A and B are shown apart, each in its own frame.
Chain A
Amino acid sequence: MSWTARIGAALALAAGSAAAAGATAAIGHPVPWQLNMTEGASPLSHQVYDLHMYAFWVCVGIGVVVFGAMIVAMVRFRKSRGAVAETWTHNARLEVIWTVVPVLILIALALPATRILINESNTGDAGLTVKVTGFQWKWRYDYVDYQGRPVSRVGFISRLAFNSDEARQLDSGINPRSLKSKTGYDDYLLNVNHPLVVPTHTKIRFVITADDVIHGWWVPALGWQADAVPGLIHDMWGEIDTPGTYRGQCAQLCGQDHAYMPIVIKAVPPAAFQGWLAAQESRARLDTIARTVQVAPVPAPAPQG
């Protein structure tokens, strides 16, 4: 893609997502020249996006008024144009207005923010619970329960994929742009060995903690990040509408390889998820059997000679 085409695509992304809320396919990763937040893939992320755009346009509006007044003043009241300074220093009505109006604007911003936050903090009635544990410098995912049924022993470590890990070394000689996912996406530093597999159209409760230092679990498509604090449990929820791959990163500085512990979520339809989960559980069961099976002692070799 040419340079200008990329800017065009980024602008179209920014503008298009504002125009057609919910209609565009969710994009689960950053794109070159991206200017704005994406709407994400979860009901929460849509709300957060709307709040973000609302706050943005309020700021633009205030900016137009304030900076407009400054520009007019700087053009009209120049000494070089013969402007003579007035001496007034006070206007009670104006001062009351510009104290009260901002308060009203803030209330208009605080109301939707409060509503979304209350929604965000409701982690009940989840169809799936996943425990997320941050380690230096990888994530562990444990499936706790699915549709009210405890999941037994399904959990794995998710770490930076090998090709990214090789390319990221100082003077590796590998061009980061040469790394591609199966779908042709430039996934340098945003690919893992085992993605977190979750079902679509299911409310997922994430229970987040850490084992060593504080990490931050952040997938922008879900609409939030949550610090993973050792010794504390942090719960949040998400629900993904569209099957796909959603990428994120550790958001909280956690040591030298902070930049190298990405998060990849693979959202699949519920039926496929059920099959995947069953396979994982049976593998765990087979693993248990293999580890605990009674092995007959090997007979001692007959003495030689």
Chain B
Amino acid sequence: MATHAGTHDDHDAKPGFAQRWLFATNHKDIGTMYLVFSLIMFFIGGSMAMIIRAELFKPGLQLVQPYFFNEMTTMHALVMIFGAVMPAFVGLANWMVPLMVGAPDMALPRMNNWSFWILPFAFVLLLSTLFMPGGAPAAGWVMYPPLVLQGGDSIAFMIFAIHLMGISSIMGAINIIATILNLRAPGMDLLKMPLFVWTWLITAFLLIAVMPVLAGAVTMLLTDKFFGTSFFNAAGGGDPLLYQHIFWFFGHPEVYIMILPAFGIISEIIPTFSRKPLFGYKPMVYATASIAFLSFTVWAHHMFTVGLPLGSLLFFMYATMLISVPTGVKVFNWVTTMWKGSLTFETPMLFAVAFVILFTIGGFSGVMLALVPADFQYHNTYFVVAHFHYVLVSGAVFAIMAGTYYWIPKWTGHMYSERWGKIHFWNSVIAVNVLFFPQHFLGLAGMPRRIPDYNVAFANWNMVSSIGGFWFGLSQLIFVGNIIYTVYFARQKASARVWEGARGLEWTVPSPAPHHTFEVPPVIMPGMLAHDDVSH
């Protein structure tokens, strides 16, 4: 790699603090800020979950009033979705996409700065509602009218915060698309790109397609609440279900926005630790694209119980079931990648294997939920809560943790503590099942979601689930400890390749990755890329 002999932007010459972070334009610095922000939000949203699980520890109200409980469920979801999971994936994309495609930086560095710095303000707005008279929004993260319109002025803050998050996401998505389509190194054809880059390219298009839809929905809420319109008010000629259609037209692709990049991370990690190329690269790309396309045609499965006509129910049931075909292809490809490989189980691989198993369990409950008559029993129960936490926590969040352990040696130049990584993994994977598996039983036994108190028949499994919850929450302190250790205290230097089986451009730069990389496009040699032979 050529050395750039510039005066002020030499490899490791870093500007002063404000210049470097507030006015950051470097994709690595912005990626770091996204990841740190996401980690903070993960703990804020996590503490809300701890309050929820503490109140549900036994029947009867012990800790909080029901309205505050509803504020917690609402804010927990908004913080985790928009504050923790999505920014974590954007952070990983910021760090890794330019390194993976051989680009010097993101295509639009100043916009990159803006899309990050909007987020802290958005979340200050959102979280400040907790301290307002009347409290934070409490109508669930789905914000269904008419209920949400009964909230106080805090809903204006929530709506404005969502607008800001949407703007941030759209700008981030534009940046990722522009980088991938314009800044690839010569020889990095689209069908040679790493799967993480592919999944993010598709995710970015989903973001651009649906974030404006969410913005429209919440803007209509705003005018219904403050300006006397009746979009969703039946008494004024509107329709409360119109909101649900618009919201879930955003909401279902949003689900895939939170899982497609996770698929990408897992598709990087499993081949590395299997020391064997990814099985079925092209089908993986096509499966991702089909999932993204189908995600626009299934939104009403979130509304099966609202009273849709038979024809609609059948259409959305079939379309939803169809999504399991490309998703199944992905799972089969991961398993086949491991087959006849040479496997080792470092922390990233452990998380990746747990992802495949637990995400698949979430997929199973997803197929069951797709069956409309069965959904009439599962809907709005803890069965659904179990389902989406399996795909989001042991799915998306496990993939983020896998990615962090996988790439942190490249970011910091140090190896994390393998011993504590494994302790973190085993605690997390056992606790997450103690936490969420019993929730299937609760839902099937008839416990609705979003309730602070319940009949004594639900007491036992709730207590088990709460114990799992506290255990899972505490285990994440090990994760933070390991990150701090790696960044500031670890002595073991990481090599450029880091992992024996790792292939791709990101492993050709030194560890830690210099402040500026690929200022001159890399020359791609045979065998350098993970997917340079795609005749298959």
Q: Are B335 and A69 in contact (CB under 8 A)?
A: yes
Q: Are B307 and A55 in contact (CB under 8 A)?
A: no
Q: Are B455 and A187 in contact (CB under 8 A)?
A: yes
| B296 located at the interface, meaning its Cβ lies under 8 Å from any Cβ of chain A in the complex | no
Q: What B residues does A233 contact at CB under 8 A?
A: 307
- Nearest B residue to A187 via CB reads B455
Q: Per-residue CB proximity of B63-79 to A under 8 Å, as 1/0? A: 01111001000000000
- Please judge, given known A-B contacts A70-B338, A85-B340, A189-B454, whether A106 and B239 are in contact too, CB under 8 Å: no
Q: What B residues does A129 contact at CB under 8 A?
A: none
Q: Are A35 and B441 in contact (CB under 8 A)?
A: yes
Q: Are A79 and B342 in contact (CB under 8 A)?
A: yes
Q: How far is the CB of A188 from chain B (nearest CB, A)?
A: 6
Of the listed stretches B375-383, B393-401, B487-495, name the one at the interface; the rest are far from the partner chain.
B375-383
Instruction: Return the contact of B342 from the options A37, A85, A213, A258 (Cβ within 8 A).
Output: A85
Q: Are B460 and A69 in contact (CB under 8 A)?
A: no
Q: Are B138 and A256 in contact (CB under 8 A)?
A: yes
Most A Cβ at <10 Å: residue of B67, B310, B360, B453: B453
Instruction: Return the contact of A90 from the options B331, B335, B536 (Cβ within 8 A).
Output: B536
| B371 located at the interface, meaning its Cβ lies under 8 Å from any Cβ of chain A in the complex | yes
| A190 located at the interface, meaning its Cβ lies under 8 Å from any Cβ of chain B in the complex | yes
Q: Are A55 and B374 in contact (CB under 8 A)?
A: yes
Q: What A residues does B186 contact at CB under 8 A?
A: none
Count class of interface residues, chain A: 35 or more
Q: Per-residue CB proximity of A156-199 to B under 8 Å, as 1/0? A: 00000000000111111011110000000011111000000000
- Please judge, given known A-B contacts A79-B275, A118-B310, A231-B239, whether A225 and B305 are in contact too, CB under 8 Å: yes
A12–B278 alpha-carbon span in the complex (Å): 45
Instruction: Return the contact of B317 from the options A73, A113, A186 (Cβ within 8 A).
Output: A113
Q: Are B335 and A175 in contact (CB under 8 A)?
A: no
Instruction: Return the contact of B146 from the options A35, A187, A214 (Cβ within 8 A).
Output: A214
A78–B338 alpha-carbon span in the complex (Å): 10
- Nearest B residue to A75 via CB reads B343
Q: Are B380 and A225 in contact (CB under 8 A)?
A: yes
Q: What B residues does A36 contact at CB under 8 A?
A: 441, 444-445
Q: Are B441 and A34 in contact (CB under 8 A)?
A: yes
Q: Are A186 and B536 in contact (CB under 8 A)?
A: no
Instruction: Return the contact of A47 from the options B310, B339, B373, B446 (Cβ within 8 A).
Output: B373
- Please judge, given known A-B contacts A90-B536, A214-B144, A224-B376, whether A83 and B454 are in contact too, CB under 8 Å: no
A172–B306 alpha-carbon span in the complex (Å): 36
Q: What A residues does B373 contact at CB under 8 A?
A: 44, 47-48, 51, 113, 116-117, 120, 223-224
| A77 located at the interface, meaning its Cβ lies under 8 Å from any Cβ of chain B in the complex | yes
Q: Are B328 and A98 in contact (CB under 8 A)?
A: yes
Q: Are A32 and B459 in contact (CB under 8 A)?
A: yes
A31–B441 alpha-carbon span in the complex (Å): 11
Q: What A residues does B210 contact at CB under 8 A?
A: none
- Please judge, given known A-B contacts A78-B343, A113-B317, whether A52 and B147 are in contact too, CB under 8 Å: no
Instruction: Return the contact of A109 from the options B344, B345, B371, B460 (Cβ within 8 A).
Output: B371
Q: How far is the CB of B426 from chain A (nearest CB, A)?
A: 15
A122–B144 alpha-carbon span in the complex (Å): 29
| A80 located at the interface, meaning its Cβ lies under 8 Å from any Cβ of chain B in the complex | yes
Interface residues of B, dominant DSSP: helix
Q: Per-residue CB proximity of A45-68 to B under 8 Å, as 1/0? A: 001100110011001001100110
Tally of contact residues, B, Cβ under 8 A? 95
Q: Are B343 and A218 in contact (CB under 8 A)?
A: no
Of the listed stretches A141-149, A246-254, A269-277, A286-294, name the one at the interface; the rest are far from the partner chain.
A246-254
Q: Are A110 and B321 in contact (CB under 8 A)?
A: yes
Q: What A residues does B361 contact at CB under 8 A?
A: 63
Q: What B residues does A212 contact at CB under 8 A?
A: 146
Q: What B residues does A177 contact at CB under 8 A?
A: 59, 456
Q: Are B446 and A30 in contact (CB under 8 A)?
A: yes
A55–B374 alpha-carbon span in the complex (Å): 9
Q: Per-residue CB proximity of B142-181 to A under 8 Å, as 1/0? A: 0010110010000000000000000000000000000000
Q: What would be 13 A-B contacts, judged by CB atoms less than 8 Å apart?
A: A47-B373, A48-B373, A52-B368, A66-B331, A67-B357, A74-B353, A114-B314, A176-B456, A188-B456, A216-B448, A251-B379, A258-B70, A259-B452
| Residues on A facing B (Cβ under 8 Å) | 6, 29-37, 44, 47-48, 51-52, 55-56, 59, 62-63, 66-67, 69-70, 73-74, 77-80, 83-91, 94-95, 98-99, 102-103, 106, 109-110, 113-114, 116-118, 120-121, 167-172, 174-177, 186-190, 208, 212-214, 216, 218, 220, 223-227, 229-235, 248-260
Which 9 pairs from chain A and chain B are nearest by CB? A231-B234, A259-B451, A234-B307, A90-B536, A224-B376, A34-B445, A59-B364, A30-B457, A85-B342
- If A73-B343, A91-B279, A220-B377 are given as contacts, then 13 extra A-B residue pairs at C-beta distance below 8 Å, sorted by A number, are A37-B445, A52-B377, A87-B276, A89-B279, A95-B283, A121-B313, A186-B455, A189-B453, A218-B446, A226-B307, A234-B306, A253-B450, A258-B70
